[in-house]
Amino acid sequence: MEPREQLVTRNTVIERARHGLIEFGILSVLFGLYYATRGLAAGKEIDAFQNAREVMHLERKLGLFREIGVQAWLLAQPWIVHFLNWVYTYTHMAGLVLFGIWLFWRHTERYREFRNVFLGILGIGLLIYALYPLAPPRFFPYNGFVDTLALYGKVNYDQPSVAMLYNPFAAMPSLHVAFALFCGIGVIRVGRKLAHWLLGTFYPLLMITAVVGTGNHYILDAIAGSTLTVAAYIFVPRITAALARYRERLTADARSVAP
């Protein structure tokens, strides 16, 4: 490689690393806000439990109230429950991080597009959490639900170090499902190979099974999370493009009146 080509390659790597650090900082702040917002659950207990009863009533009317049956089948297979506990606990954020790194380093030209879609999902999800607190199924053991994380993983949600960054009433929509589907659709749209199609299809389905099987979300939560992601993929690029055109018009108008 010629010295000039080496210099160009080195500058490209440095520039990409600098851009990556900036993106990492921005997303770290947003995730801090995400967890801080999830921790603001005080005083919402009554509304959260009332909303949960309404969700279960609606699911019965729609024929979707199948969570107890799903859990009953899974509990007969302890190894599956352990696996779903692991999926729910550890792949939620890891999947996002790995997808983001893959996009940033292998498909840099597409990164901003998907980053904006993700921010749309996150922003709307947090807004709904604030406006619509919802107690998850695991809070209703007398209805037949089982908290598999507490049963097998011995997770104590009331532990102070956990409670500070945990909103027990952030069930609707399921951002676990929303983020998994976001990654799945992104992998398929960017990769377009059979392996990408398989991974992009399997991971969201696995996450839906995990959130329902562990007693952390209703089926309607999963549907809402999926709907949020699909809507973000449809509307965020259109909104971003409209804003870009508006900025271009403002810039052109400013240049036209400049001396």
Q: What is the pTM of this model?
A: 0.85
Lowest-pLDDT choice from 14-23, 48-57, 178-187, 190-199: 14-23
For 214, other C-beta atoms within 10 Å of its C-beta total 29
Q: How much is the pLDDT for 252? A: 67
Q: How much is the pLDDT for 213? A: 95
Q: How much is the pLDDT for 164? A: 54
- From CA 55, how far away is CA 95, in angstroms rounded? 29
Could you read off the pLDDT of 186-196 as tens digits, one per residue? 999 999 899 99
Number of domains in the chain: 1
Which segments of the chain are extended strands (E)? none
Element counts in the chain: helices (H) and strands (E): 10, 0
Name the residue among 173, 232, 180 with its Cα closest to residue 203: 180
| Token digits of residue 110 | 């597409």
**Using 50, 70 and 90 to split pLDDT, how confident is the model at 29?**
low
Contact 192, 123 (CB under 8 A): no
| Token digits of residue 257 | 């009146």
| Token digits of residue 23 | 């993106």
| Token digits of residue 61 | 């009317």
Range of the domain at 78: 3-257
Contact 241, 133 (CB under 8 A): no
- From CA 164, how far away is CA 157, in angstroms rounded? 10
Could you read off the pLDDT of 107-129 as tens digits, one per residue? 988 998 999 999 999 989 988 98
